[in-house]
Structure 1
Amino acid sequence: MKKNKKVNIGLLNWLERVGNKLPDPAFLFVILAVITMVASAVAAQFDLSVTYEGVNSATGTIETITTTVNNLLSVEGLHYIVTNAVTNFTSFFPLGTVFTVILGVSVMEGTGMLAVLLRRIVSKTPKTFISAMVVFLGVMSNIASSTGYIVLVPLGAIIFLASKRHPIAGLAAAYAGVSGGWTANLLLGSNDPLYAGISSEAARILDPSYTVLPTDNWFFMIASTFLVTIIGTFVTDRIIEPSLPEYEFSTQEEVEDITPVEKKGLLYAGIAEAIYLLGMAWMVLPENGLLRNPETGEILNSPFMSGIIFFLMLFFLIPGIAYGIGSGVIKRSQDVTELMTKGIQGISNFLVLIFWAAQFTAIFGYSNLGIILSVNGAQWLTQIGLTGLPLLLLFILLAALIDFIMPVDTAKWALMAPIFVPMFMQMGLSPEATQLTYRIGDSTTNIITPLMPFFPMIIAFFQKYDKKAGIGTVVSTMLPYSLSFLVGWLILLSIWYLLGLAIGPGAWLTL
């Protein structure tokens, strides 16, 4: 098969060279932590602070909050660093998520079931639509919050390998869908109620009766799903894959026919999975289902959604074990634990990276530098005096820039909503519009900010297929997606605004 030829794209090549000259990703987080410590000490000497209307995380109400810099080089700061190092690591949310899901995925992958399924998918999907399928599945994965980072991104590489295509192109396509398409979906995701709750509290500063519903961005999210899929497919096929160096395919990556033994394993897995899904449906779908919210009967805000990571692990583990039994790969209980152990060993590089990433993220948050930078940037925007569509477009750019220093989306929205939602309401723009434009800006730069909690894991995925890959490799590969999504969303929002279309059931861009 003809292999990709290297295309000279000057800017991307320059970014990759410069980025890869940076220290090892793990050590870079150490450097960033030291810089944060020094910056906090300097800022504390000048008594830097900021006052803003924010959401009280304990009560959920809007309050006037004054935030000052915490000096990390003070006695208290040093005590925080040394006494919380272990807790910072163990409580870093990607850690538990990755460990839990990998236990199930490693069994499904180790028994060979995953490879068999992917061979079947590849055989049934025309190669023309492989990229579109990977990007689309990435977008849809945010229904279950961040699980797409762990499950779908590495699967993207495997799917491309099975199609005799460059695995890094598959990684990029899946990552673009999962992270760049964070604000898009055909269905409601677990983050929609969180955004709506924060937006409602912010809107009630001016209108005590105002409520933003989880569905209030839904129409625009549906359109965005197709937008991200189309743009992501084009960038993957026309820009990213042609720019990658040749990849040497091994004989292990040849797509083989499914054997009778594998068919038997798939039969066992299918029966087990069907039983599991029926059981889950019995506990979720009825109004009095065991996994629904016991007080309200909701599904989105329920034990089911809170335990989605565990249920996802079982989603992979149960059919994986059944396949192993049916195919003869699993003959004893020790075989299952050995497969899990092997899966954990495969993410050892990620564990080293995540330890130092967790330390930096924690001390940066403790310093309050991110809040001060974000609020000052927001207050600058209020002084510009723009209205209508230009203001929404500029707000998208601000949210995209802030994402580089404060990538946690809901925490950032809790900070920004009380400032911008009331201000935009006074200018005739709805809280739903402010929330939507924030989500667009946040999504476009997710894929290129090294501070994003899952970024170290993405680097580890890249290094599996390119030992020299580093921060520069990931950023230069994903930059075309980021810019293309940004331009595409700016155009889509402009069309939506000019046509006066609803962005959700009963929700509009203007009041």
Structure 2
Amino acid sequence: MSDQTGNTPAPEKQTGFLGLVERAGNRLPDPAFIFFYLIIAMAVISTIAYFAGLEVEHPTRLDDSGNPVIVSAISALHPDVIRHLLVEMPEIFTGFHPLGYVLVVMLGAGVAERAGLFGTAMRAAVRDVPRLFLTPAVALAAMMGNLAADAAYVVLIPLAAVIFAAAGRHPVAGITAAFAGVSGGFSANLLPGQLDALLFGITEEAVVALDPAWTMNIAGNWYFIAAMTFLFLPVIWFVTDRIIEPRLGPWQGGTVAGSDDPDNDPDAEMTPGQKKGLAHAGIAVLIVALIWLFMTIDVVALVTGGSASLYGGNAPLFSSDTSLGTTQRLVPFFTSLVAGFMLLFIFAGVAYGRAAGTIKSHRDIVDMMAGAMKDMGYYLVLAFFAAYFVELFNESQLGLISAVNGANAIEASGLPLPIVLGLIVLFAALLNLFVGSASAKWALMAPVLVPMLMLLGVSPEMATAAYRVGDSGTNIITPLMVYFPLILVFARRWVPEFGIGSLTASMIPYSIWLIVTGILMTVAWVYLGLPLGPGAEVAYELPAATQ
């Protein structure tokens, strides 16, 4: 893309601390190679730990005499470890929990995105909004747009600029508000999505060391991320209208930039097919939701008082084990939500595409699914190296040893758990300045962080939630974020002299306010012990020690 003069100016060099971050980050290798180098480092560290005799008592396992099992560091050069890593290479890769979850959800999301449902829905959400509520409408659509993955960046952000300009407001303010919502509010949403599947898959890998029976629940942060949405919305609204837009000054340039693109024209009416498609997609979403409801609740048995049953027994997604509590009996429902969201996206995307004319045959659906898988190529490469790093970390026992020692150190410090979680948010935010990938950072942190917090009585869901808060807030101020240059190009279409320093300075107030708000929310959530999602609590109790 180019600016209004037809030329794309070269990005200006950033100075000061942000310049240091930019230069240091640019020297970092690709995240896939970061994991490769970490594997080599882990081989060296585990060997040193083995000869140093590092060991701890396992918190939940007893030997035949009833004493705690001693967990000792194992060298990556041990013959059994080498044999395992080489012989079971395919199983290590395909058994990496996040891999299956993400690919399944993306099969559905690819259909919805390529059929045009996500783009049209985002346009419909922000057009015809009164000027007073334009900022919160854009911010909310941006946060919800994360369900559409990359589409929110390439569709909503330039569209927000045109809508702001059409309303007589500065288009760059529209860009910053949308960018803050999409990227700064990366984890905030009213619905779980592919990010939940990705992160909880990594969490599940980390939990196994202490609680092999724990199962991933894609809705485990649902209440938390919904609360983030409602808290971040006024923050983005305030920063945009009271801090950023006054600094930008009044806009006098009209609505020229981007108006030649019909997808970026707020005055362009939706076609009858698009309107019909949105209506059909809404019906499809309702049908899928009802199907899941009926598979969780035996409505016939409920109405007849048990004299008749639709299934001849328990509903498929509700455990038949009456000795369990209601929450535990709903575990099949929670774990089925990955499949549920895939089917929801597929049916909604197909319903929209058939009505809008973007899907003409079943071959189009297959092509869209294949396109989504092509887009996941880089993730597959990253997942291969991440899977091997996590496996080697687990085999070395260093994750459990570090978690036990870390938990002991935190207990000895006397820090309250809410403060500990707040510090974890801050650490994740700082790390995010240098490693942009959410999954890469969590794969690095989870093997130590999750078991350590479990030992302190904090659930895996709460550990994941704290990480998500820190991962979001600093996305918008690091030039290492993959979409940062694209956002700069969008801004230069309206203000040609707008540089990387201008964009960074505009996003810093959002980042500060979002991080502060996120930390306060996390601390309050832990202090109050609020549920994080259906069946997901802040507190956690280790399973009883067994032989």
Fold shared, TM-score > 0.5 on shorter chain: yes
User: Please, which of 159, 162, 168 is the counterpart of residue 156 of structure 2?
Assistant: 159
Partner of residue 403 from structure 2, selected from 371, 374, 386: 374
Amino acid at match of 2:293: A
1:22-41 matched pairs, under 5 angstroms: 22-41=28-47
Give the alignment's TM-score, normalised by structure 2.
0.62
Seen in structure 2, the aligned counterparts of structure 1 residues 64 and 489 have a Cα distance that, compared at 3 Å, is farther
Match of 2:318 in 1: 292
Corresponding residue number in structure 2 for 1:312: 341
Report what 2:264 is aligned to: 254
How many Å separate the matches in 2 of 1:31 and 1:491? 36
Equivalent position to 1:115, from 112, 119, 134: 119
Match of 1:15 among 10, 18, 21: 21
Q: Out of 321-330 and 458-467, give the one that drifted further.
A: 458-467
Quote how far apart the aligned CAs of 1:302 are.
3.3
Deviations 1:197-222 (A, max 9, x none): x9xx99xxxxxxxxxxxxxx999988
Superposed, 1:3-402 pairs within 5 Å as 10-54=16-60, 64-125=68-129, 126-130=133-137, 132-134=139-141, 137=144, 151-152=148-149, 154-155=151-152, 158-164=155-161, 170=178, 173-179=181-187, 226-231=230-235, 251=261, 253-255=263-265, 256-285=268-297, 286=299, 289-296=315-322, 298=327, 301-385=330-414, 392-394=418-420, 396-397=422-423
Return the alpha-carbon distance in structure 2 between the equivalents of residues 63 and 13 of structure 1.
Answer: 54
3-state SS of paired residue (2:318)? coil
- 1:399–1:442 Cα contact (<8 Å) kept: yes
**Structure 1 residues 335 and 356, CA, compared in 2 at 3 Å: closer, same or farther?**
same
State the 1:311 CA deviation.
1.1
CA distance in 1, matches of 2:15, 2:109: 36
Decide whether aligned partners of structure 1 residues 153 and 52 sit closer, same or farther in structure 2, where only a CA change above 3 A counts.
farther
The answer to whether the Cα contact below 8 Å between 1:54 and 1:414 also exists between their aligned partners in 2 is: no
Match of 2:307 in 1: none
1:335, 1:493 → 2: CA distance? 44
> Which protein is bigger by CA-based radius of gyration?
2
> Identity rate of aligned residues, in percent?
26
Count of paired positions: 435
**Partners of 2:295 and 2:315 within 8 A in 1:** yes
RMSD: 5.2
Matching residue's letter, 1:282 = F
Q: What CA deviation, in whole Å up to 9, does each residue of 1:444-475 have, x standing for no partner? A: 4445999xxxxxxx9677788799xxxxxxx9
Contact 2:55 2:72 in 1 (8 A): yes
Could you tell me how far apart the structure 1 residues matched to 2:95 and 2:506 are?
30
Question: Aligned-pair distance for 1:393?
Answer: 1.9
Contact conserved, 1:159 with 1:170, CA < 8 A, in 2?
A: yes
TM-score by length of 1: 0.66
1:342 to partner: Cα distance: 1.8
Q: Structure 2: state its 5+ residue gaps.
A: 162-171, 212-220, 249-256, 303-313, 432-440, 490-503, 540-547
CA deviations 1:371-410 (Å, max 9, x no partner) are: 2223222222333356xx5x64246426865997876769
Gaps of 5+ in 1: 57-61, 139-147, 203-216, 422-430, 451-457, 468-474
Q: Which amino acid aligns with 2:419?
A: L
2:46–2:73: 8 Å Cα contact kept in structure 1?
A: yes
Q: Per the alignment, do residues 483 and 69 of structure 1 end up closer, same or farther by CA in structure 2, a change over 3 Å counting?
A: farther
Go from structure 1 to structure 2 and tell me whether the alpha carbon gap of 1:405 and 1:66 turns closer, same or farther (over 3 Å shift): farther
Q: Which amino acid aligns with 1:376?
A: N
Matching residue's letter, 1:45: F
1:211 is matched with none
